[in-house]
């Protein structure tokens, strides 16, 4: 079942049958940030974390002549533990909006959906990871009141030849 999400778009909950489509959207997401990277590991990530406890939603562009609907955005949620206080938090595993549908309020509306879901579960916080070079996403999250809690650092030990 879908509901009018924002004008011209519908939001519908995904199912366990959407594993391949979720992988496709995860691939699109990371390919934008890392175009030359081998992303085959994403299949294992989806296999390991996609479960009944990690719900999935799709945004479809409204088109009464299109069946099945063709999603233009994806939201995949789950759980995290805040290591500072041990509290369970809602966690955004993936938020993706197709480039041609960006700047239309879809990302903001999806994050409002995350907040409703989290409050409904009794969560007091929402966490997510965003890459430091993804300025549009950083701008969105900051506009919505998200603040850095930690900084993930890494050191490259060797480069592949």
CATH number at residue 47: 3.40.630.30
Question: For the whole model, what pTM was predicted?
Answer: 0.90
Average pLDDT (100-116) is: 96
- On whether residue 128 sits in a domain, the answer given is yes
**pLDDT tier at 66 (50, 70, 90 boundaries)?**
confident
pLDDT value at 64 more than 80: no
The pLDDT value given to residue 161: 65
Overall number of domains in the chain: 1
Which stretch of DSSP H or E encloses residue 127?
strand 126-128
- On whether residue 52 sits in a domain, the answer given is yes
- On whether residue 111 sits in a domain, the answer given is yes
- On whether residue 155 sits in a domain, the answer given is no
- On whether residue 148 sits in a domain, the answer given is no
Residue ranges of alpha helices (H) inside 34-154 are 41-49, 106-121, 135-143
Average pLDDT (39-61) is: 95
User: 3-class SS at 158?
Assistant: coil
Structural domain harbouring 41:
2-143
If one compares 160 and 72, the residue with the highest pLDDT of the two is 72
The pLDDT value given to residue 88: 95
């Amino acid at each position: 079942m879908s509901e009018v999400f924002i004008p011209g778009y519908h939001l519908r909950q995904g199912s366990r049958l959407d594993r391949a489509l979720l992988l496709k959207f995860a691939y699109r997401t990371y390919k934008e940030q890392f175009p030359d990277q081998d992303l085959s590991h994403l299949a294992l990530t989806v296999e390991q974390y996609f479960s009944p406890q990690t719900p999935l939603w799709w945004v479809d562009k409204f088109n009464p002549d299109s069946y099945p609907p063709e999603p233009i955005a994806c939201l995949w949620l789950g759980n995290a533990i805040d290591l500072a206080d041990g509290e369970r938090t809602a966690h955004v595993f993936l938020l993706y909006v197709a480039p041609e549908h960006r700047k239309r309020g879809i990302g903001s509306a999806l994050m409002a959906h995350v907040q409703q879901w989290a409050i409904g579960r009794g969560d007091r916080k929402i966490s997510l990871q965003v890459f430091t070079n993804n300025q549009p996403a950083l701008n969105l999250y900051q506009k919505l009141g998200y603040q850095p809690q930690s900084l993930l650092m890494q050191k490259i030990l060797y480069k592949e030849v």
